[in-house]
Amino acid sequence: MEFALSADQKLLQDSLRRALERACPLDRVRRVAADDLPLDREVWRTLCEVGVPALLVPEAFGGLDLSLLDAALAAEELGRHVAPTPFLGTAVLAPLALREAGSAAQQDEWLPRLAAGECIAGVAIAEAVAGARDGAGVTAHVDGMLDGSALFVLDAGAADVFIVADRAGGLHLVRADAQGLTRGALRSIDATRPLGELHFAQVKAERLPNASPVTLARLRSAGWALLAADTLGAGEAMIGQAVAYAKERRQFGRVIGSFQAVKHLCAEMAAGLEPGRALVWYAAHAFDALPDEAALLAAHAKSHLSETGTFVARTATEVHGGMGITDLLGLHYWFKRIGFNRQLLGGPERVRHLAAEMQGLVAA
């Protein structure tokens, strides 16, 4: 038995990599980050041409009906290029929520638009899956109205619709122009993927009728696996840049890559990150093929890549010496990307505790 990517998956990854090399050079990343743009239309158009927004949408709604592993391969490439574009909310969590919990009418209205890249979907589930901060949280009333606030909303800046989790584990669809809804930007260290916050004051919402805490757990597992995949790609990019720099930078009449200490740093980065690839791929594969194991595997992938990614980010910067912290090289975009992924939807300490709960090692 061969445990490897299929020919189609390799083609998807290669096509997206070549498309992003053209559409997403570092100068574009720098410009988007500096201008606080919620959406770079050129990069988003490139993703739409490759079919990224349609990956998880069923064929009946104009999608490709692929697996979460295919989405993880896309996330890996987006992390490798620090692409300033919506993805996790719009192309992954929103289609999954609608596919698994939405009504037929909701699916008919929104899934074709998501597949075509015609709309952006923000996803507000952080309080429900990782714990509320600063008293945030959304309360759903029996009349369908929402009150409260949601922080760390994914893909919020240019969103046309939001998927919102309430305190009881329900999911709701809220249009961006709904009366009583106030949204604003929420600053984070990663300017390539702006977050948002939402405030609800008797906001009319459409409940996703089949949503339950199980649905939220599925969304959490998908989010963990995809954030780990993004970190994997970003870490690979940092290692590649460190190795290339070590082959060019000269000290004492020799390239620094010839020094044993630098060799060891590069080898340690590769040895630490590479085993995470199998973990990420298997966690994403399990989401569709082994749903009973998916949550635990995703937790392991998220927590492990959070730690190894942090080590790679720090060590790759050290290999560059003083140049590593300058904007000229732009290494900090990958550094911040990895740091952002580490904390989003739960830091490694929180995720490990949840994994221990799943295994019955600690009390829930």
Return the pLDDT at 215: 96
Give pLDDT tens digits for 282-325: 999 999 999 999 999 999 999 999 999 999 999 999 999 878 88
Is residue 157 over pLDDT 80?
A: yes
Of residues 71 and 324, which shows the higher confidence score? 71
Q: Which of 137, 134, 151 is nearest to 195 (CA)?
A: 151
DSSP string of 273-321? HTHHHHHHHHHHHHHHH-HHHHHHHHHHHHHHHHHHHHHHHHHHHHHTG
Out of 7-11, 130-134, 196-200, 305-309, least confident range: 130-134
pTM of the model: 0.96
Return the pLDDT at 53: 97
Whether the CB-CB separation of 241 and 319 falls below 8 Å is answered with: no
Is residue 2 over pLDDT 70?
A: no
Return the pLDDT at 251: 85
User: How many CB atoms sit inside 10 A of residue 168's CB?
Assistant: 12
Work out the pLDDT band at 197, boundaries 50, 70, 90.
very high
Is residue 335 over pLDDT 90?
A: yes
Give the DSSP H/E element, type plus range, for residue 227: helix 213-248
Work out the pLDDT band at 181, boundaries 50, 70, 90.
very high
Q: Both tokens of residue 273?
A: 């990150």
- Mean pLDDT rounded to a whole number for the chain: 94
Work out the pLDDT band at 205, boundaries 50, 70, 90.
very high
Q: Which of 267, 348, 340, 338 is nearest to 302 (CA)?
A: 348
- In whole angstroms, give the CA distance from residue 322 to residue 325: 6
Whether the CB-CB separation of 266 and 363 falls below 8 Å is answered with: no
Return the pLDDT at 190: 93
Work out the pLDDT band at 363, boundaries 50, 70, 90.
confident
Return the pLDDT at 231: 98
Return the pLDDT at 252: 86
Whole-Å CA distances, 205 to 43, 178, 311? 31, 8, 43
Please state the rounded mean pLDDT for residues 256-273: 91
Work out the pLDDT band at 249, boundaries 50, 70, 90.
confident
Return the pLDDT at 322: 78
- In whole angstroms, give the CA distance from residue 275 to residue 364: 30
Whether the CB-CB separation of 39 and 120 falls below 8 Å is answered with: yes
Return the pLDDT at 34: 87
Out of 45-49, 83-87, 234-238, 358-362, least confident range: 358-362
- In whole angstroms, give the CA distance from residue 313 to residue 331: 9
Return the pLDDT at 255: 87
Out of 71-85, 93-107, 312-326, 336-350, least confident range: 312-326
Is residue 36 over pLDDT 80?
A: no
Q: Per DSSP, what are the bridge partners of residue 197?
A: 184
Is residue 1 over pLDDT 70?
A: no
Please state the rounded mean pLDDT for residues 22-50: 90
- In whole angstroms, give the CA distance from residue 147 to residue 280: 37
